[in-house]
Chain A
Amino acid sequence: MFENFSLWPEQASSVAGEVDALYGFLLGLSVFFSLGIVAALVLFSIRYRRQPGRAPSRIEGSLPLELLWTGIPLVIVLFVFAWGTKLFLKTQVLPVDAMPFQVTGKQWMWKIRHPTGQSEINTLHVPAGREIALSMISEDVIHSFFIPAFRLKKDVLPGMYTSLWFTPTEPGTYHLFCAEYCGTKHSEMVGEVVVLDPSEYQTWLEGRPAEKDPVAAGALLFQNLRCDTCHNTTSGARGPDLAGRFGGEVATQDGQKLRFDERYVRESILEPAKRLSAGFQPLMPSYQGQVSESDIMNLTAYLKSLAKQGAN
C-alpha cells in the first residue's frame, strides 16, 4: 500500500515546474489566510467568551475595514489571475515546428499515430526535449487526455479537433488518464506516456512494424477514394484544386471567408455542401461512414504536405 506513495506528483514537462510554482504560491496564500481566520476565531472565542458582568460592545461596522478587506483580496486575485493566465496562454499556443502526433479516443482506448506513421494503443512514446503536438478527436463520447506528470489535460471531443502540446523533459514512464467520464470502463481508459532519449526513440520507432506515414497514407486514400477525379489541376475541373491551399483562405458560396484548416477539411469531407467553395457546384457526395477519423487525419496530413510543396 505504501509502495510509490508520495504527496507530490513527478515533474516531467517543461511547464510542470512553473505550474507547481504557481500552485505552491496559492497553497502558501491559502494556508496564510486560513490560519489567519482560524487564529482570529480562536482568539476572539477565548477573549470574548461569555463572562458574568461583561456586556458585548455595540459595534455596527467599519467602512475603512470593509474597503480594506475588499481591496486587498481584489489586488491579490488580480495578481493571481494575471500569473495563471500568462502561464495558461503559454500552454495553449501551439509552436509551429512541433512534432505532429494524432490521437483518437474511443470507448475505452487511446489510439496514437506517430508523425512517421507508427501506431500504438494506450501508450505514447515520445522523445525528451522535443516539442510534441497532439491533434485529437473522439470517435464517440467526450474523453480527456490527461498526463499528471506534465500538468496538462485537454478534452477530446467528437466532431471537433482539439490540440495539446508539451515538451517532455525527464525520460521515464508516466500515467495517461482519461479525465472526462466516458462510460462503464472510464477508469480503465488509462495508459502510459513513455519519455525516451531522442536516440532511444529513434531505435524504438525502427523496431515498430513499418506503416505508411500519414502523408503517404493520405495520398493513397486520395486516389482510392477517387478524390483526384474532381480535385485536380485541369482547368474546368469539378472541384477546386487542393494543392497549396492548406493554411490559406477559402471563399465560400455565400460570401464567407474561412480558414482552410483541419476543421474545414474534415467538414468538407463529411458535409461537403455545408460551406461550398465559391464557383463550384454541390456535386461532391458525403463520405460520412466511409472514412474513419484517422483516414480524415491522414487526408489532412496529405493536403498539408501539398501546401508545403507549393510554398517551396
Chain B
Amino acid sequence: METRSSSYLGGEYGLRSWFLTVDHKRIGIMYLLGVSFFFLLGGLFAVLVRLELLTPPGDLFQSETYNKLFTLHGIFMVFFFLLPSIPAVLGNFLLPLMIGAKDLAFPKINLLSWYIFMVGGLFTLYAMLAGGVDTGWTFYTPYSSTYANSHVIMAALGIFISGFSSILTGVNFIATIHKLRAPGLTWFRLPLFVWAHYATSLIMVLGTPVVAITILLVAVERLFHVGIFDPALGGDPVLFQHLFWFYSHPAVYIMILPAMGVMSEVIACFSRKRVFGYGFVAFSSLTIAVLGFLVWGHHMFVSGQSVYAGIVFSLLSFLVAIPSAVKVFNWTATLYRGSISFETPMMYALGFIGLFTIGGLTGIMLATLAVDVHVHDTYFVVAHFHFVMVGGVVMAYLGGLHFWWPKMFGRMYPELLARVASIIIFVGFNLTFLPQFVLGYLGMPRRYHVYPDEFQVLNVLSTAGASILGLGFLMTAAYLPWSLKYGKKAGANPFDAVGLEWDTPSPPPAHNFDTPPVVTHEAYERKEEELVHV
C-alpha cells in the first residue's frame, strides 16, 4: 500500500503540478515554504535590532534605519509568519485528514488563498526593497497617514491583500468542519486541534475585514488627504487605534488558539491519555474567540479614551484570562497518571505550558489599570507578547511541525539533535525575554534606538539570549531539510498517536483515505490492550 506513487508527494513532480495543485497537503507544504521564508526574514531583522541594542548610543544604524528594522520585523513576523503559521501550514495539511475527508470543502479557493498570501507578501517585500517602512507594525495615525516618509502604502497594501487569504482560509475551514466530517465523527469526538481551528476561523472571518478597512482608510487619507484620522484634516487619531485593535487583539487569538490546538494533540499523545476535561478545553477556545473581540481597549488605557471605557476593558481583559488558565490547568492535569515520554514534540509542549503561563500572568498585570499606566509602551509589553507569541505560538508551531513531520514527509528527523535544539531554544528564549520584563518596569520605552546607559546590562543579556535562540532556530532549519533525504523512514504512526491522520500511510496518499473512515470512538480513545507498554 505504501508505494511511492500513491503518496501525495509522488505522482507528478513538475513545478506545474505544485503551482496548480488543489491538494490541501501540497498547499500546506507551499505555505510551509512561504512562512519559513518570512520567518527567516523577520528573524534577520530581529538579529539586527538586538545587535544595535547591545550599546546605548545608536552606533550601528541611523535612527531611520533602526525604525525600519523593528517595523519590518513586526510586519513580517505578525502578518506573514505568526498569523498563517499554524492554521495555513498544519491546519491546511491536517484538518481534512483529522476529520476523514478527501480535501477541504473548497480546494480551489484554498489554492487561491495561497496565491493571495504570496502576492500580499510580495507587495510588502517590495515596500522593504524600495526603502522600507518606519511606522511600526501598528501603523498609528496621524504618523502613518500624514507624517511618515516611507513606503507606507505598499506595506499596507500587502497586509490588506494577505488579509483576504486569511478570510478565505477561515471560510474554507468552517465549511469543511461543518460538512465534511466522516460518518460517526460527531462534534464532541473531534480532535481539539479541530475545535481550536474552528474558533480561529470564526475570528479570521469576522475580524480580518475590519483591519482591511482600517488600512484602506489610512491609504485613502495618505493619498487623497481625506480627513479620517488626522485632526489637522478634521479626523480623529484615536479612532484608528480603536479600529486597529478591534482586529489586532483578536488576531492574537488567531495565533494562539491553533497553538493551543497543537498542544492538546501533543500532550494527549505523549502522555497516552485523553485530554483532561475535553469539553472544557473545547469550549474555552470558543469563549476566548468571543471574549477576544471585547477587549481591544486594553491597548489604549493611556490613549485619552474615557476612564470608564478603560475600566470596562480592564474587567473584560481579566475575564478572557480565565479560559486560558482553564486550558493550562487541564493540560497539566492530563499528565496526571499518564504514561509520559519526552520526544521532541513533548519537549516543546512542556516548554509551551511554562512559557505561556508566564505570558498569561504578565497579561494579568497589563490588564491591571494602574500597573499598565506605568508599563504601557515599555519593554514589559514587548516581553509579554513575545512570551505569548514566541514562547507560545512558535513553541507550539515547532512542536507541531516535529509531531507531524513524519506524517508530512514520511521521514523522521534526528531525535537527539532535535531535543538538544528544543532545549537551546528554551534557554535562549528565556534569557532573551526575561530581562526585558525588568527593563520595562525600570521604564525603558519600546522602539528606542538610543537608550540611557543604566539599561545596558539587561540589554546585553537579552542580546546574548537572542544569539542562543538564533542558534537553536538555525539547527532546526538545518536538520529538518536534511531529514527529508537522510532521515529514517517513518511508519504510518511513529509516535503511536491516536487520530484519523495516523491511520493513513506516511506520507498520505493524494486522496487521503482509500476507503472513507467511519468513526466509532471518542477523541484520543485507546483500546485497553494498547495501553500497557512492554
A26 within 8 A of B: yes
Indicate if the CB atoms of A88 and B276 lie closer than 8 Å: no
Indicate if the CB atoms of A26 and B333 lie closer than 8 Å: no
Given A52-B533, A56-B531, A62-B277: A4 touches B454 (CB 8 Å cut-off): yes
Chain B residue at smallest Cβ distance from A162: B304
Contacts of A53 in B (CB 8 A): 532-534
Indicate if the CB atoms of B302 and A154 lie closer than 8 Å: yes
Indicate if the CB atoms of A80 and B368 lie closer than 8 Å: yes
Indicate if the CB atoms of A22 and B370 lie closer than 8 Å: yes
Given A19-B374, A48-B338, A50-B339: A160 touches B304 (CB 8 Å cut-off): yes
Q: Mark B423-461, 1 if CB is under 8 A from A, else 0.
A: 000000000000000100111011111111110110010
Indicate if the CB atoms of A49 and B319 lie closer than 8 Å: no
Indicate if the CB atoms of A55 and B332 lie closer than 8 Å: no
Given A41-B354, A44-B338: A187 touches B63 (CB 8 Å cut-off): yes
A107 within 8 A of B: yes
A61 within 8 A of B: yes
Determine the distance from Cα of A59 to Cα of B337 in the docked complex, in whole angstroms: 8
Given A88-B373, A142-B237: A30 touches B276 (CB 8 Å cut-off): no
Least CB distance from B268 to A in Å reads 11
Indicate if the CB atoms of B353 and A153 lie closer than 8 Å: no
Indicate if the CB atoms of B373 and A91 lie closer than 8 Å: yes
Determine the distance from Cα of A34 to Cα of B450 in the docked complex, in whole angstroms: 34
Indicate if the CB atoms of B357 and A33 lie closer than 8 Å: yes
Given A70-B326, A87-B370, A179-B445: A48 touches B304 (CB 8 Å cut-off): no
Which of A1, A61, A62, A140 counts the most chain B CB atoms within 10 A?
A: A61
Least CB distance from B62 to A in Å reads 8
The contact of B314 among A62, A73, A85, by CB within 8 Å, is: A85
Contacts of A73 in B (CB 8 A): 321-322, 325
| Chain A stretch 1-43: residues in CB contact (< 8 A) with chain B | 1-9, 15, 18-19, 22-23, 26-27, 29-30, 33-34, 37-38, 40-41
Contacts of B325 in A (CB 8 A): 69, 73
Given A22-B371, A50-B340, A159-B232: A45 touches B350 (CB 8 Å cut-off): yes
Determine the distance from Cα of A111 to Cα of B372 in the docked complex, in whole angstroms: 26
A262 within 8 A of B: no
Indicate if the CB atoms of B321 and A66 lie closer than 8 Å: no
Least CB distance from B415 to A in Å reads 15
Given A153-B374, A179-B376: A45 touches B340 (CB 8 Å cut-off): yes
Indicate if the CB atoms of A154 and B340 lie closer than 8 Å: no
Given A74-B322, A187-B447: A155 touches B302 (CB 8 Å cut-off): yes
A92 within 8 A of B: yes
Interface pick from B6-14, B140-148, B179-187:
B140-148
A115 within 8 A of B: no
| Chain B stretch 97-129: residues in CB contact (< 8 A) with chain A | none
Which of B279, B442, B453 counts the most chain A CB atoms within 10 A?
A: B442
Number of interface residues of A (CB under 8 A): 90
Indicate if the CB atoms of B336 and A177 lie closer than 8 Å: no
Indicate if the CB atoms of B332 and A44 lie closer than 8 Å: yes
Contacts of A34 in B (CB 8 A): 354, 357-358, 361
Q: Mark A173-212, 1 if CB is under 8 A from B, else 0.
A: 0010111111111111000000000000000000000000
A243 within 8 A of B: no
Given A158-B142, A187-B63: A23 touches B441 (CB 8 Å cut-off): yes
Contacts of B279 in A (CB 8 A): 61
B365 within 8 A of A: yes
Determine the distance from Cα of A26 to Cα of B368 in the docked complex, in whole angstroms: 9
Determine the distance from Cα of A158 to Cα of B278 in the docked complex, in whole angstroms: 50
A152 within 8 A of B: yes
Which of A22, A81, A177 counts the most chain B CB atoms within 10 A?
A: A81
Interface pick from A118-126, A143-151, A224-232, A246-254:
A143-151
Chain B residue at smallest Cβ distance from A89: B307
B503 within 8 A of A: no
Q: Mark B301-326, 1 if CB is under 8 A from A, else 0.
A: 11110010011001100110110011
Least CB distance from B394 to A in Å reads 19
Determine the distance from Cα of A83 to Cα of B372 in the docked complex, in whole angstroms: 13
Contacts of A154 in B (CB 8 A): 302, 304
Given A41-B335, A45-B342, A187-B450: A23 touches B357 (CB 8 Å cut-off): no
Indicate if the CB atoms of B271 and A48 lie closer than 8 Å: yes
Given A3-B454, A45-B342: A81 touches B377 (CB 8 Å cut-off): no
Determine the distance from Cα of A108 to Cα of B147 in the docked complex, in whole angstroms: 13
Contacts of A91 in B (CB 8 A): 370, 373
A84 within 8 A of B: yes
B328 within 8 A of A: yes
Given A55-B531, A66-B280, A187-B450: A157 touches B304 (CB 8 Å cut-off): yes
Least CB distance from B454 to A in Å reads 4
B67 within 8 A of A: yes
A65 within 8 A of B: yes
Indicate if the CB atoms of B368 and A184 lie closer than 8 Å: no
Indicate if the CB atoms of B335 and A61 lie closer than 8 Å: no
Chain B residue at smallest Cβ distance from A44: B335
The contact of B273 among A45, A59, A148, by CB within 8 Å, is: A59
Q: Mark B136-179, 1 if CB is under 8 A from A, else 0.
A: 10101011001110000000000000000000000000000000
Besides A61-B279, A187-B447, 12 other A-B contacts (C-beta < 8 A): A1-B460, A2-B457, A22-B371, A23-B365, A38-B357, A41-B332, A57-B273, A61-B278, A158-B237, A175-B452, A181-B136, A187-B58
Q: Could you jot down 12 A-B contacts, CB within 8 Å?
A: A15-B370, A23-B441, A37-B332, A51-B339, A51-B533, A58-B274, A61-B279, A65-B333, A80-B318, A151-B374, A183-B134, A187-B451
- What 3 A-B pairs have minimum CB-CB distances, sorted nearest first? A148-B443, A159-B231, A88-B369
